[in-house]
Every structure is written in C-alpha cells, then in structure tokens.
A and B are shown apart, each in its own frame.
Chain A
Amino acid sequence: MHLLLEQLINGLTIGSFYALIALGYSMVYGVLKLINFAHGDFFTLGSYLGYTVLVFGTALLTAHFGLWGGMMAATVVAAISVSIVGIVVERLAYRPVYPAGRLPAVVSALGASIFLQNAIMVIWGPRYQAYPSQLIPNMHFQFGDIFITLLQIIILVFSFLLMSVLYYVIQRTTFGAAIRAAAHDRHTAALMGIDFNKVILFIFTLGPALGAVTGVMVGMYYRQISFTMGWNYGLKAFTATILGGIGNIPGAMFGGLILGVLEMLGASYISAAWKDVFVFLILILVLIFRPTGLFGEKVAEKV
C-alpha cells in the first residue's frame, strides 16, 4: 500500500509537468487549430535559460536573495524570455502562414521546432547540462515507509497554484470568455468585437511562459537537461491534451495528471520498458469509445 501511495505521488509530479505543458498546446490548438510542435522546445529553452541564470547569476542571486531567491529569479527570467521568444516565433513563423490554412502551419511548426532545438544545441552545446545541485534544496521526508522530497512538494503546490490561476482566468474573467469565444468560433467572435490579435498575443505569451516554468522545474527536479528533451515531453503533453479533449483547458490539466499516473501504474505493475505502450493503448481505447477525449464536448458536424 505504501508503495502505491509513493508511486502515486511520483506519478502526480510527472503528471503536473505534462499538464502545465499541455496547457500551452491546448490553448494554441483551441484558438488556432494548430498543433504547435515548437511548444516542447519552448519548454527546453526555458530549462536552459533557467540553468544559465542559476549558474552565472549564482554569486549575485544566491548571495542577496538566498536559495529561494535564486530559484525564483531563474523561473521568472526564463518565463519572461521564453514568452518573448514565443511571440517572436508566432509573428515570424506562424502568422504569415495562417491564411494558407492549418496544414502548412503544421509544417511551419515542425520547422520552428527543428530550428529552436538546434539553436539550443548551438548555443549551449550538445552535452547534457547539469543544474548546480548546491543551489537546489535537497531535503527529503520520510513518513513511515514513504519518501517524499521537499522539491516534489514545492512542485506540486506551485503547479496546482498555476493551474488554478489559469483556470480562473479562462473560466471566470471577461478576457477568458473572449478566449473561449475565439476558440469556439473565430469569425463570430470577431463580429462580437473580440480582438483576435490580442487573444493570440495572450496565448503565445502565457503558453510559452508556462512551458518555461515547467522547464525550470524539470531542471531542478532532475538536475539534468538536454537539448532534445522537449521532443519527448512535447509528445507526452500532446497526448495528454488529446486525452483530456483538445482545446479544453481543464481537460488538458486532468489529461496531464491522468497520463502521469497511468505511466506510473504501467511502469510499476506491468514493466517499465512497456509503460509507453500501456499509455498509448489506454489513449487509443479512450478515443475509440469517446472520440473527442475524456472531457471533450461532442461537436455537432458542420454541414
């Protein structure tokens, strides 16, 4: 029993990473119907920027603001810089392609992903980079037989906080309503006076920022980052998005958490080597019986 509980916490930690990345996918998809393949690389970029801030700002930051100050600074700098990159990528690579439809945009997104990933490699080199372990709290608690690290608790709390804020913004504010309206029907929304450009600006600021924050958290949690890791996380997060029902914000959150837990169950009760097969099989089964995902609404076919 204690084993299951411990694995569950591990699963939720990974799941919250997936959920935060999935939000970026889901928002972009909801409004633009675009699978933003570059999103995984925003996450990687955030991770590397956080690394640079921690490593090169060490003396300054940690001396003045302590361990927590250093972590916060890394997170904030990464989030702000990556959201700027996000807007630039949207302007340069996506906006000129929108008029041509969604498929060219997918290729453009793949191109942007290749570009970003290799730019990261050129800037930081092909080797793995290590987050400095002395700058990260590494306490762990033992409750009976259960081991939990302090960092795990921080990550879980922080992720749930972020998700709740986003949930509130999207579901309860006027601006959130505008985004949902734009996602539902862009043309009608425009007629209702919703500034579509503002909506796009918003999702391409917030999505990459969330990805970058996740990147920094992943860096601190595992301490090791590589320029290709965005691909893996991106694929999983995209899976989570679909599992929850694409374009559906709460769906993406739950999709991510469920995916993390499923992965954990597959790894501990079936086999670690087969766990991704298990995850994809569940996904396929869910889609066979609920073709629009767990939380997706049934969309009437437009004729």
Chain B
Amino acid sequence: MPVNTNSTGSARTLSVPRWIMPMLAGAILLIYPFLVSDYYIDIAFYFGIYALLGLSLNIVLGEVGLFDLGHAGFYAIGAYVTAILNTRYGIPIFVLLPVSGLAAALFAYIVCSPIIHLKGDYLCIVTIGVGEIVRIALINNPFDLTGGPNGVFGIDFPRIGELLVIDSSLEYYFLIWAVVGLSIIGLISLQNSRIGRAWNCIREDGIAASASGIDVRYYKLLAFVLGAGLAGIAGNIYASKLMCVSPESFSFWESCLMFCIVLIGGMGSIPGVLIGAAFISLFPEIFRPFAMYRMLVFGSVMILMMMFRPGGFWPRKRGGVSYRSLMEDSGD
C-alpha cells in the first residue's frame, strides 16, 4: 500500500470535523453572489469553469496518473459541438449539455483507443498532438463548420421554454457551481468505488495491477472517456456564457493551465483541485493592476509552491499518491 508523504498526525491534533469544511464552502458559495457585483460573480464563474476542467483532468492525471497535456482538445469539442448544433439547428443548450459531454467522450474513445498503450511521456506528447490537431482543425474550418479563426457566434442562453432562461451572471454562477457540485459528489463516490481503487492501483504500479487481474487498458480508457466527457460539459457552459467560441480559447497553454491546477492542488485530491483552480483563475485577476509584472510573479509562485509543497496544496489523504510513484515513472 502507498505510504503517505503527509503524516496524518497533524490532522488529528486539529479537531475539525470532516464535514465542517465542505459545509462552510457550500454556505459561502450560496451567499457570496448576493454580496458582490456582477464582475466578481463572473470571476467566480470562471473559477467554476476551471474547477470543472481541473476535476475532469484530475480523473486522468490524478486518479490514474496518465500525463494528458491535450485536455483543451476535449474542452474544445464540447464547446464547438454546442456552438454548431445550437446555431445551425437551434437545439437548446440544455439538451446539448449531455450531448456535448457524450461527443467529447466519444472523441476521446476514438482517439485514445489506439494510443492508450503508450507510456508516460510518449502518451504525453501524443495528447499534446491531439490537442493541437483539434485546435488547428478548428482554425482551418473543415466543411465550413467551425467558422475558422472567427469561431462560431450567436450561441443561445440555456433555457427551458420561457420558464427558465439563464442569462444573468448570477444564474450562470449557480449553473456552473451546481454542475461542479454534482460532479464532486459523483467523483467522490467513484473514488470510493471499485473503479477508483482500480485506477489508483494502476497509478501506483501498472504491472502489479494487471497481475492482480485489473484490465489496465479498459480502466485507462474509462478515465479518458469520463475526463473528456466532463471537459465537454465545461465546454458547453463556457460556450453559452461567452455566446461565441473561437480557437484561441483552446490552446496548448490552456491544457498546461489545467495540468497545473491538478498538480498545484494535489493529484487526486478534490479539494486540492478547487484550490488549484482558484489559484489559476483568481491570481491573474488579482494581480492585473501589476500588468507586465504579474506573470513574473505567477511563474515564481509556481516554482515556490513546488518547492515547499511538492505534493500539492491539499494532497489526498486516503489512497493518496505515494512517494514512490512520484519518484518513478507513473502511469505504467
């Protein structure tokens, strides 16, 4: 079994019940938007988008330890499926929410099947390649679908008839955080299930996992498919919020940001991912007045963070990443 880098001793001395933090966070999330202006609600909205993206990548990178630096590609598929089907055929955004998730998942299944046997960094470069292929294809406007570098515009609000129309910052805020909340509940139960244990087992030692009868290929693919599906859903909400999509939102840089979210927060740790997402989405906004120097600080903070908390800000306790798997090649 994995040995935890984090001693559990310190947690015991602080007698905060486990449920306090989630409850507190939930309460703050509920009250927060009623206290601030739309601008701050929007910042929290993008925080939510990054949280969802971080959670989706966390399945692949955090749970199974597969290096995926092309996650923005799946995000893009979700966003563009939403954009194209909505603007061309008028299919409602809410219907497209699962559709874009499924489309991204299907895409992941098709492209990942032949490459899933690759190891660590070879898999990493292939995912970069997939992400870049998606982005370049979007720019080149295949079959006149993606609108080229202009992107697709005129995307509708999510609505159910006239009954419920989501068109204000406040409503979008609740939409994204509801989706994030549901995903967290789902992911926690996955973590504690057979699947989650199989994933972690593959991450710690792939050979031992397959020796003990785990279908490694199947579980790795499953992680990609689920992760991509969740990213596709994030794409759907992002597209309807911005009302337009364009390729520059899905660059390699965006994939790198997601990668950092998971590692800064702590691999496999859900609260960690939330903190990582907060860091990535809030930091540039807080430091925007510093203009040119802000990214200098951002880069240095990333380095410092890894020096002082290499396991991430909030490492997973139970079933966490072991010291050994961090040292050696993971995911194979």
Chains A and B directly touch (beta carbon < 8 Å)? yes
Given known pairs A102-B327, A103-B267, A112-B299, the reply for A284 and B256 (CB within 8 Å) is no
Closest chain B CB from A274 CB (angstroms): 6
Interface string of B241-280 (1 = CB under 8 A from A): 0000000000011001001100110010000000000000
Are B306 and A291 within 8 A (Cβ)? no
Docked complex: A100-119 residues within 8 A CB-CB of B: 100-108, 110-119
**9-residue interface stretch from A58-66, A206-214, A275-283:** A275-283
Quick one: closest B residue to A281, CB to CB? Answer: B133
- Name the distance in Å between B237's Cβ and chain A's nearest Cβ: 26
Instruction: Collect the chain B residues with CB atoms within 8 Å of residue A105's CB.
Output: 306
Q: Give the contact-size bracket for chain A.
A: 35 or more
Judged by a CB distance under 8 angstroms, whether B125 is at the interface is: yes
User: A100 contacts B306, CB within 8 Å?
Assistant: yes
Partner of B122, one of A117, A280, A287: A287
Q: Is the CB of B326 within 8 A of A102?
A: yes
Say how far B230's CB is from chain A's closest CB, in angstroms: 21
Query: Are B292 and A104 in touch, CB under 8 angstroms?
Result: no
**Interfacial chain B residues near A92, Cβ < 8 Å:** 303
- Interface presence of A42 (CB below 8 A): no
Which of A106, A231, A238, A276 has its CB near the most chain B CB atoms (within 10 A)?
A: A106
Could you tell me the dominant secondary structure of chain B's interface residues?
helix
List residues of B (297-311) whose CB comes within 8 Å of A's CBs: 298-303, 305-307, 310-311
* Closest chain B CB from A110 CB (angstroms): 6
Contacts of B140 in A (CB 8 A): 273-274
User: For B118, B129, B136, B307, which residue has the most chain A Cβ atoms within 10 angstroms?
Assistant: B129
Determine whether the beta carbon of A287 is less than 8 Å from that of B267: no
9 new A-B pairs (CB below 8 Å) besides A93-B303, A111-B298? A97-B307, A100-B311, A101-B323, A110-B302, A118-B299, A231-B252, A273-B140, A287-B126, A303-B207
Give B contacts to A, CB under 8 Å. Answer: 114-115, 117-119, 121-122, 124-126, 128-130, 132-133, 136-137, 139-140, 207, 252-253, 256, 259-260, 263-264, 267, 292-293, 295-296, 298-303, 305-307, 310-311, 323, 325-330, 332
9 closest Cβ pairs, A-B complex: A100-B310, A111-B302, A101-B326, A115-B299, A114-B299, A280-B129, A104-B310, A118-B295, A104-B306
Q: Which residues of A contact B (CB under 8 A)?
A: 29, 33, 35, 92-93, 96-97, 99-108, 110-119, 121-122, 231, 235, 238-239, 242, 246, 273-274, 276-277, 280-281, 283-284, 287-288, 291-293, 301, 303
| CB-defined A-B contacts under 8 Å, sample of 18 | A35-B121, A35-B124, A97-B303, A104-B326, A106-B263, A107-B264, A107-B306, A110-B256, A110-B259, A110-B260, A112-B299, A114-B298, A115-B303, A118-B299, A235-B128, A239-B129, A287-B125, A288-B115
